[in-house]
Amino acid sequence: MLEIIDIHKTFNAGTINEKRALQGVSLHLKPGDFVTVIGGNGAGKSTLMNSVSGAYPVDEGKILIDGVDVTHLPEHKRAQYIGRVFQDPMMGTAATMQIEENLALAARRGKIRTLRTGITKKERALYKEQLATLGLGLEDRMTAKVGLLSGGQRQALTLLMATLQKPKLLLLDEHTAALDPKTAAKVLETTQRIVERDNLTTLMITHNMRDAITYGNRLIMMYDGRIVVDVSGEEKKKLTVEQLLSLFSKASGSDEVNDKLLLS
């Protein structure tokens, strides 16, 4: 479903601030794969995701989604294949627009926006149903401005928006990191439920190693712009945090970064 072939990305090339954020990353996701991504701060996890979503172009390499080469497609065109939830709860929704308006915008992802009405009665009924499944009471506040919602509510809404139209690929970049533990757990639960229900191919970055082990059928770890650990299937199920740590120090060849990963 997703094929990343040897992509490279360097920021500020040729300056003293040069940062080689991705140094040859290849990754192949089968339909229905739910891959968790861990790695220390600055390992290149977000850069990987932004390269896939098209937020910025890669310097080298290829990206294919469901067989379509999207390497040179602009971000808004790739959006027809991709659902996204960002780390910052402010980023995924339009604060000054209503809940139902946000959903209506998301429902038209990848479609031509015409001069037909922006939201129909039929849609409203559908959104009400969908919002109810979140269990946050948002179904009774459909015309409230999204800016009035809490971070957790906004992330849940963004998740719903990302999956309202089944995406070929769901990208989650530490989407629970800004939330308090209880809310984070709830949003993660919702994520799991939706991913399972729609059998979504998912890439989820997390800073929580336990979550990385618990969720998904495959786990990758990044270090210094590369994928250094890649476990899946039975092997992943049996994984412990301690094992993960030792895998990491082996891959990175140092103990000191061990702490770096733990701390992040």
Partner 1 sequence: MERLLNFGNALPGVLSLGLIWGIMAIGLFITYKILELSDLTVDGSFCTGGAVCIVMMAMGQPTWLAMVCAFLAGMLTGAVTGFLHTTCKIPAILAGILTQLGLWTINMIIMGIEKGELVSTLTIPARNSKPLVSAMFLKTALNGTKPVYMYPPFVLVVITACIIGLLYWFFGTERGASIRATGANEHMARAQGINTNANKMLGLMLANGLVALSGSLFAQYNGNSEINMGRGAIVIGLAAIIIGDVLFGKLFKNFALKLLAVSFGAIVYYLVIQAVLTLLQVDSQYLKLMSAAIVAIFLTVPNLGGHSFKKHKKEAPVCSK
Ligand X SMILES: Nc1ncnc2c1ncn2[C@@H]1O[C@H](COP(=O)(O)OP(=O)(O)O)[C@@H](O)[C@H]1O
What does 197-257 look like in DSSP terms, one character per residue? HHT--EEEE-S-HHHHHHSSSEEEEEETTEEEEEEEHHHHHT--HHHHHHHHHHHHT-SHH
Task: State which residue, 9 or 84, has the beta carbon closest to partner 1.
Answer: 84
Residues 25-54 that bind Mg ion (CB under 5 A): 46
- The one of Mg ion, ligand X, partner 1, none whose footprint includes residue 209, by CB under 5 to 8 A per kind, is none
Least Cβ distance, residue 238 to ligand X (angstroms): 26
Task: State which residue, 20 or 108, has the beta carbon closest to ligand X.
Answer: 20
CA distance 178 to 152: 9
Task: State which residue, 46 or 192, has the beta carbon closest to Mg ion.
Answer: 46
In 3D space, the residue among 188, 184, 207 whose CA is nearest the CA of residue 263 turns out to be: 207
Q: With contact defined as beta carbons under 8 Å apart, do 70 and 81 qualify?
A: yes
Least Cβ distance, residue 69 to Mg ion (angstroms): 26
Least Cβ distance, residue 85 to Mg ion (angstroms): 13
Which chain residues interact with partner 1 by CB under 8 A?
A: 53, 74-77, 79-80, 82, 84, 86, 90-98, 101-102, 104-106, 108-111, 113-119, 145, 147, 161-162
In 3D space, the residue among 95, 73, 94, 93 whose CA is nearest the CA of residue 84 turns out to be: 93
Q: With contact defined as beta carbons under 8 Å apart, do 221 and 249 qualify?
A: no
Query: Helix 241-252 to helix 256-263 angle, to the nearest 10 degrees?
Result: 130
Task: State which residue, 45 or 154, has the beta carbon closest to ligand X.
Answer: 45
DSSP H or E stretch at residue 24: strand 19-29
- The one of Mg ion, partner 1, ligand X, none whose footprint includes residue 108, by CB under 5 to 8 A per kind, is partner 1
- The one of partner 1, ligand X, Mg ion, none whose footprint includes residue 109, by CB under 5 to 8 A per kind, is partner 1
Task: State which residue, 113 or 182, has the beta carbon closest to partner 1.
Answer: 113
Task: State which residue, 80 or 217, has the beta carbon closest to partner 1.
Answer: 80
**19 forms part of the interface with Mg ion (CB under 5 A):** no
- The one of ligand X, partner 1, Mg ion, none whose footprint includes residue 41, by CB under 5 to 8 A per kind, is ligand X
Contacts of 23 (CB under 8 A, 6+ apart): 8, 44, 224, 225, 226
Pairing of strands 169-173, 202-205: parallel
Residues 1-60 that bind ligand X (CB under 6 A): 11-12, 19, 21, 39, 41-47
The site for ligand X (CB under 6 A) is made up of 11-12, 19, 21, 39, 41-47
The site for Mg ion (CB under 5 A) is made up of 46
